[in-house]
């Protein structure tokens, strides 16, 4: 089982993105679950959620404490103590940012890092400052082992339309991978 944690802000479409991942995994006959953690449901407020993917039925119904993967929708969240808490030693981190890897000053347990300017790509392609579908493209590239990119694209198209698929595709191509020591 792979456990992931999502960090974003109200209005960025974190929950919807995670639900599309769950749908896409289930469409391939596997199992996934997502639990959003709700604080105050307000635009701009930090939100996070927990995603699990497995080949068999997922019985556990708790928060995720030791994620393998972090998906961070907003680089301003990186400084929050909670964001990197519990990240596994060989953790994968996907970040929506304009900044360079050096500027970000990531903690040591972030070994495999993916950077993408999802907000910029989203504004260019879908004309809106909502990076969720774009982040799915970066996610698909980073997590090829457990997400079927074609099915994910299909689901983005059904739910959000063509422009969002395009945006996701651009992110898939443009995302930069860094292996840190």
Query: Which spans of this chain sit near other proteins (rule: CB under 8 A)?
Result: 18-19, 22-23, 26, 31-36, 38, 58-63, 65
Tokens 């039925």 locate to 57
Residues whose CB is less than 8 angstroms from the CB of residue 104 and which lie 6 or more positions away in sequence, other chains included: 75, 78, 95, 97, 115
Structure tokens that stand for 8 in this block: 């974003």
Question: Closest approach of Cβ 36 to other proteins, in Å?
Answer: 5
Residue placing its CB nearer to other proteins in the complex, 66 or 129 = 66
Beta bridge partners of 181: none
Q: Which is nearer to other proteins, 47 or 170 (CB)?
A: 47
Nearest CB to other proteins, comparing residues 12 and 33: 33
Residue 176 C-beta: closest distance to other proteins, Å: 30
In terms of Cβ atoms closer than 10 Å to its own Cβ (0-12, 13-18, 19+), residue 155 is buried
Nearest-approach distance from CB 177 to other proteins, in angstroms:
28
Angle at 76 between CA 10 and CA 88, to 5 degrees: 95
Q: How far is the CB of 99 from other proteins (least distance, A)?
A: 31
Considering beta carbons, is residue 25 or 175 the nearer one to other proteins?
25
CB of 147 to other proteins, least distance (A): 14
Q: Which is nearer to other proteins, 114 or 160 (CB)?
A: 160
Phi/psi at 146 (5° precision): -130, 20
Spatial contact of 33 and 55, defined as CB atoms under 8 Å apart: no
């Amino acid at each position: 089982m792979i456990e992931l944690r999502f960090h974003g802000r109200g209005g960025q479409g974190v929950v919807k993105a995670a639900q599309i991942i769950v749908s896409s995994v289930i469409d391939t006959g596997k199992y996934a679950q997502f639990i959003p953690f709700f604080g105050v449901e307000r635009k701009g407020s930090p939100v996070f959620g927990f995603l699990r993917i497995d080949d068999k039925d997922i019985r556990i119904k708790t928060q995720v404490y030791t994620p393998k993967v972090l998906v961070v929708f907003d680089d301003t969240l990186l400084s929050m103590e909670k964001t990197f808490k519990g990240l596994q030693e060989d953790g994968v981190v996907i970040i929506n940012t304009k900044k360079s890897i050096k500027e970000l000053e990531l903690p040591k347990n972030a070994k495999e890092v993916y950077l993408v300017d999802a907000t910029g790509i989203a504004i260019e392609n879908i004309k809106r400052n909502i990076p969720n579908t774009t982040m799915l493209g970066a996610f698909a590239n980073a997590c090829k082992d457990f997400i079927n990119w074609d099915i994910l694209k299909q689901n983005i198209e059904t739910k959000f339309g063509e422009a969002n698929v395009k945006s996701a595709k651009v992110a898939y191509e443009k995302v930069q991978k860094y292996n840190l020591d």
